[in-house]
Amino acid sequence: MSRIGFLDLAGGLLNSLGSFYADQGRPHEAEKIYNHALESQEKADRREDKLTLDIIHNLGLLYANRGQQQEAEAMFHPVLEGYEKVLGRQDTSTLNASNNLASLYTDQGRYQEAESVKDYEKVWGREHTSTLNTVNNLGTLYRSQGRLQEAEAMYERALEGYEKSQEREHTSTMSIVNNLGSIHAAQSRFQKAEGMFERALEGYEKTWGQEHTSALNSVNNLGNLYGSQDRFQEAEPLFIRAIEGYEKTWGREHTSTLNAINNLGTLYQSKDRPQEAHALFKRALEGYEVALGSVLVATYIPALNTLENLGLICAELERSNEALLFYQRALSGTKAVFGQISEAYSSLLDRINSLKCDMHQPEGGMEIFTRSKTTKLERKWKKLRAKLPIMPKTR
């Protein structure tokens, strides 16, 4: 065997082993393997080789799924440029890298940059899995923008395509099922949503086991769904299971862990356990700040939700100055992500104005505050249903 042939074989095996560990929910082992493979490729002066680019791309996916968005973006940009140079703009590897970069932008609220990947259908046709992956991720983009009907159409199309081309319990199919469940939940179709989440959970547990992160995503979604229906006794153990599972696999400061912590805090808030809710919201916000950094956290939608939740709970605890600070931070990020004409921005602005009015009204202030608090409790689960997490990006 030639030296080049040996390098290809060794590098390919390491890349496959890294992907195997990543799929098994063993991210630390996967990262070590990918970095070892990458070092070997660079020592052999193969920086622009397709295999090298594949390894960097997979490392970027690993970082993205671990919530390390800056590191992921640093991988995806050079990979996309490399694929375009080596393979051309219409090659599936190039399109995959572009798709995953767009998904990362979606997570960060950078929607205009995300609207860049729609070329699979031209290359492979409507039913190819790469096309369906992009359709799924486009549905996620639309959902993040509140375009629920468009998102549902994308997810339905992707699910139909996957069920034709793959087994019903294939993990890619389960990903779409889970996402479609989130759309049903956001539109208060609770029975349909529960069926989707239970189907996804059963499929993931059968394929990967109970502690795999994909199964935990469905557990977390079911917890949100039960909470929205006042099924608190069923929701709480699901959130705790999700948090413990995420911490074991991803760590305490992974965004999936923090999302589940925020959801548990919302559950406790609705059960009039404000001190416990406040502690969970604070832990989630501090975790987001560590995981994402000061720049990205300012426009990261789950962090904005947590800021608003902290404002709500501080207002309920009559800590008005703290509430105002949290609301103002959330307002700044909401303006950057959704714009001043959005419903989210208007709602936050109303909260701030109402809070300022209460803070400067010596008589009758408590009566106004009590009515506002009741309204918040009536609205809380409607807001939460829009926060259901989406599955990690398809590989």
Tens digit of each residue's pLDDT (9 = 90 or more) over 297-315? 998 989 999 999 999 999 9
CA distance 29 to 119: 34
Contact 346, 330 (CB under 8 A): no
Which pLDDT score is estimated for 364? 41
From 375, 335, 383, 378, select the one nearest 355 (Cα to Cα): 375
DSSP assignment letter at 163 = H
Which pLDDT score is estimated for 241? 97
CA distance 374 to 371: 5
Which pLDDT score is estimated for 380? 47
Which pLDDT score is estimated for 156? 92
Which pLDDT score is estimated for 104? 80
Contact 110, 82 (CB under 8 A): no
Lookup result for tokens 């807001």: 383
- How high does pLDDT run on average in the chain? 82
Amino acid (1-letter code) at residue 318: E
Burial class (CB in 10 A: 0-12, 13-18, 19+), 254: buried
Which pLDDT score is estimated for 124? 60
DSSP assignment letter at 252 = T
Contact 223, 205 (CB under 8 A): no
Which pLDDT score is estimated for 186? 92
Torsional class of 388: left (φ above 0), alpha (ψ -120 to 50), beta (otherwise): beta
Which pLDDT score is estimated for 17? 84
DSSP H helices in the chain: 3-23, 27-43, 50-65, 69-86, 92-107, 111-114, 120-124, 129-144, 148-165, 171-186, 190-207, 213-228, 232-249, 255-270, 274-297, 301-316, 320-338, 343-359, 365-385
CA of residue 221 relative to chain centroid, distance? 12
Which pLDDT score is estimated for 390? 47
Which pLDDT score is estimated for 144? 76
Per residue of the chain (395 residues), give pLDDT as tens: 455 555 566 667 888 888 888 877 788 888 888 888 888 877 776 777 888 888 888 888 888 877 787 888 888 888 888 888 888 877 778 877 877 887 787 777 666 666 554 555 556 666 677 778 778 877 887 887 788 998 898 899 889 888 887 667 778 889 899 999 999 999 999 999 999 999 999 999 998 889 888 999 999 999 999 999 999 999 999 999 999 999 998 889 899 999 999 999 999 999 999 999 999 999 999 999 998 888 889 989 899 999 999 999 999 999 999 999 999 999 999 999 888 988 899 999 999 999 998 887 544 443 343 334 444 444 444 444 444 444 444 44
* Separation in Å, CA 340 to CA 312, 335, 336, 347: 21, 5, 8, 11
pTM: 0.66
From 125, 163, 160, 120, select the one nearest 138 (Cα to Cα): 120
